[in-house]
Structure 1
Amino acid sequence: MKFKLLAALALATPLFFIGSVQAENPQDLQKLLETGECIKCNLSGANLSSAHLIGADLRGANLQKANLSEANLEGADLTGANLAGANLTSAYITNVNLKQANLNNANLTRAKIYDSNVYQASMNNLTITDAEIFHTGIGVGGEDAEIPDWD
């Protein structure tokens, strides 16, 4: 009897944690995965780890604290999206539009970021350890960083 109870608990325990990584709006998550489009959706906290979001339209979407680790975002439009605190570890971010996006506190460890638009994006406290960044306006700096005089 004790064995059956332990076995049941072992199987049920992961279910308690699934709810904590679900998107705020499961319908929005389903819409994104089925159509590749979810403008102004609420995907905060969504588990999109290893998702293929090639060319996805996520303009204005709330992806705060979403798990996008190892996701392929090639060609995605994240204009004005909220990615604050998002996990983008080892994500593939090429030709992505992040114009006016909120990337504050995002984790871009080991991400591959190529040819992406980050014009007017907020990027405070980024983690970019071992990230590959080419032809994208992300760099190391801060209040004491030298800003070149282009005039």
Structure 2
Amino acid sequence: MYELKPVISAIVISLIVFGSVTAEEGAETRLLETNKCVECDLNNAELEGAKLRRADFRGAYLYRANLEYADLRGANFSGADLSNARLRGADLRNAIFNGAVLKYTNFGDADLSGASFVDAKLRGARFANTKVDGIQF
């Protein structure tokens, strides 16, 4: 029995470490296939240039996600956490960020025309050279 404890411990640790990586990869794959990732873990996701029009990210975790130059027109990020996310150059026309956490998010050069930020937390968010026609706060 004592000889099995180190083996079982190693298996449990491997499942924890590698299982979480698989879960994140699974979330990215599911998003790209279904255009939905409600309350899922996309922390540190690499989605630069992705085509995700009208995608559903409600309540998702996108901390430090790379969505630069992505097509996110009409996407719903309500209640999502995009802290430190990179959305530079993204097409976010008519996107919904109501109640989202957007601390230190980079929206530089993005098109946010018609986007909604009602009750969003925007401390430190960057909007350099961003199109903001018809934006709602």
The answer, yes or no, to whether TM exceeds 0.5 is yes
Deviations 1:105-141 (A, max 9, x none): 0011101111111100000111111111111146xxx
Structure 1 residue 24 displacement after superposition: 6.5
- Aligned equivalent of 2:31: 32
Structure 1 distance, partners of 2:122, 2:62, is: 15
- Does residue 108 of structure 1 match 2:104? no
Deviations 1:1-38 (A, max 9, x none): xxxxxxxxxxxxxxxxxxxxx89711111000000011
TM-score, scaled relative to structure 1: 0.74
Q: How many residues align?
A: 117
- The answer to whether the Cα contact below 8 Å between 1:103 and 1:123 also exists between their aligned partners in 2 is yes
**Aligned to 2:92, what secondary structure does the other structure show?**
strand
Structure 1: 4+ residue segments shifted above 6 A: none
Structure 1 distance, partners of 2:128, 2:31, is: 29
Q: Percentage identity across aligned positions?
A: 31
Structure 2 unaligned blocks of 5 or more: 1-20
- Aligned equivalent of 2:122: 123
Structure 2 distance, partners of 1:23, 1:129, is: 35
The CA RMSD measured in Å over matched residues stands at 1.5
Structure 1 distance, partners of 2:22, 2:100, is: 19
- Aligned equivalent of 2:134: 135
Structure 1 residue 97 displacement after superposition: 1.0
Structure 1 unaligned blocks of 5 or more: 1-21, 139-151
Alignment of 1:10-89 (within 5 A): 25-89=24-88
Structure 1 distance, partners of 2:25, 2:67, is: 16
Structure 2 distance, partners of 1:120, 1:68, is: 22
Structure 2 distance, partners of 1:95, 1:23, is: 32
